[in-house]
């Protein structure tokens, strides 16, 4: 049996909508203050997609930028995996729509639904396709128009989320971002703590479900906070062990941008100063599956990814799901 093929990161790209919604704007709509939002979450503003923009419209821009960064044409892509919880339609998949918009005529396409963990799950799936020899070039797109899933009268949830997209291209011959390990996990015992209750086959859409606002995100904030604090440490630690690394060898942490207090807890857990953690929650809020690839691309743009660095990307979300990818830059 042949050895697994090397997997590395050939290119990346992001897109965030033009419209900025500040905490001040939310003060006029909700019983809250910008200071309260920032102190509890770290969020100062978020991006809001235009009414005519769907998740695929955000994702296709990020994807084109990733392809350009990789020096590849869309026709050279073998597989497109889209991580989204806010896809354009129930079916077909948003990945299929991206395949058409990009002109990736040789690519298979499918979606992954792991909500905020979606990019990590998609990364693991795409990497395994390359490692097994079933694909040479994989495009992973995380695209979210999550603001359509929010009850804008619920201050406990609507202040947390924003829209955006990030994309990466994986190949076996890229010189940067070599994959060292992936670690994924799920605990459905906490499924009710973060959920959209209606709209699926279990509770189809009715006048009653619409009237009760059951098609919007519902969250048990305290439980999700405790879960996030615990699982980031456990997941990153496991992935580092799988990569054959000690925790002291972690050079840069790129966490899911859910809450600044959770991120600071991770810094304390791994004895990292904040300059070794990528944070952009203040500008984008939580963009669900897109948050990690957006942060990754910004880290590269800022010159924070240097040859030889060990980088961990970690996310957690509904399911409850979590995962970590460790790279050697």
Give the count of domains, the chain. Answer: 2
Q: Average the pLDDT over each of 25-39, 218-232, 274-288 and give the range with the smallest value.
A: 25-39
- pLDDT in the model for residue 71: 98
Tell me: do 195 and 51 sit in the same domain: no
- Residue pLDDT, tens place only, 280-308: 999 999 999 999 999 999 999 999 999 99
pLDDT at 151 over 80: yes
Last residue of a domain, one of 138, 156, 175: 175
Compute the distance between CA of residue 320 and CA of residue 83 in angstroms, rounded to an integer. 16
Tell me: do 227 and 83 sit in the same domain: no
pLDDT at 1 over 60: no
Q: Of 23, 259, 286, 310, which is the active-site residue?
A: 286
Tell me: do 272 and 250 sit in the same domain: yes
Tell me: do 82 and 195 sit in the same domain: no
Q: Of 82, 116, 158, 182, which is the active-site residue?
A: 116
Strands 164-171 and 178-186: unpaired
CB count within 10 Å of CB 11 equals 23
* Mean of pLDDT values over 295-324: 98
* Mean of pLDDT values over 13-25: 98
DSSP 3-state helix, strand, coil percentages of the chain (rounded to 5)? 40, 25, 35
- In a 3-state reduction of DSSP, which class is residue 313? strand
Tell me: do 84 and 211 sit in the same domain: no
pLDDT at 248 over 80: yes
Tallying the residues shown for the chain, one arrives at: 329
Active site residue 286: yes
Active site residue 310: no
Which structural domain range is residue 125 located in? 8-175
Q: Of 23, 158, 182, 256, which is the active-site residue?
A: 256
* Mean of pLDDT values over 43-61: 98
pLDDT band at 3 (very low <50, low <70, confident <90, very high): confident
pLDDT at 132 over 80: yes
- pLDDT in the model for residue 297: 98
Tell me: do 141 and 208 sit in the same domain: no
Tell me: do 203 and 169 sit in the same domain: no
- Residue pLDDT, tens place only, 251-284: 999 999 999 999 999 999 999 999 999 999 999 9
- Angle (CA) 16 22 27, round 5°: 145
pLDDT band at 2 (very low <50, low <70, confident <90, very high): low
């Amino acid at each position: 049996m042949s050895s697994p093929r090397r997997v590395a990161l050939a290119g990346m790209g992001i897109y965030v909508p033009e419209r900025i919604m500040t905490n001040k704007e939310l003060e006029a709509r909700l019983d809250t203050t910008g200071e309260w939002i920032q102190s509890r979450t770290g969020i100062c503003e978020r991006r809001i997609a235009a009414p005519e923009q769907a998740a695929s419209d955000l994702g296709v821009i990020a994807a084109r930028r990733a392809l350009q960064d990789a020096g590849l044409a869309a026709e050279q892509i073998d597989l497109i995996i889209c991580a989204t919880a806010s896809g354009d339609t129930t079916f077909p998949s948003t990945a299929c729509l991206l395949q058409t918009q990009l002109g990736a005529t040789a690519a298979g396409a499918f979606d992954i639904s792991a909500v905020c963990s979606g990019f990590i799950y998609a990364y693991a799936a795409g990497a395994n396709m390359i490692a097994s020899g079933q694909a040479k070039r994989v495009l992973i797109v995380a695209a979210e128009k999550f603001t359509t899933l929010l009850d804008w009268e619920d201050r406990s949830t609507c202040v947390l989320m924003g829209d955006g997209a990030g994309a990466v291209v994986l190949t076996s011959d890229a010189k940067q971002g070599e994959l060292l390990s992936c670690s994924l996990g799920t605990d459905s015992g906490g499924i009710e703590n973060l959920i959209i209750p209606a709209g699926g086959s279990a509770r189809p859409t009715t006048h009653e479900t619409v009237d009760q606002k059951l098609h919007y995100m519902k969250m048990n904030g305290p439980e999700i906070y405790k879960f996030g604090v615990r699982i980031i440490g456990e997941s990153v630690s496991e992935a580092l062990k799988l990569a054959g690394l000690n925790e002291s060898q972690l050079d840069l942490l790129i966490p899911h941008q859910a809450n600044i207090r959770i991120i600071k807890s991770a810094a304390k857990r791994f004895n990292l100063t904040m300059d070794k953690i990528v944070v952009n929650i203040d500008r984008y809020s939580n963009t669900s599956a897109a948050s990690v690839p957006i942060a990754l691309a910004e880290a590269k743009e800022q010159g924070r990814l240097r040859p030889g660095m060990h980088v961990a990307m970690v996310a957690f979300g509904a399911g409850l799901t979590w995962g970590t990818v460790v790279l050697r830059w």
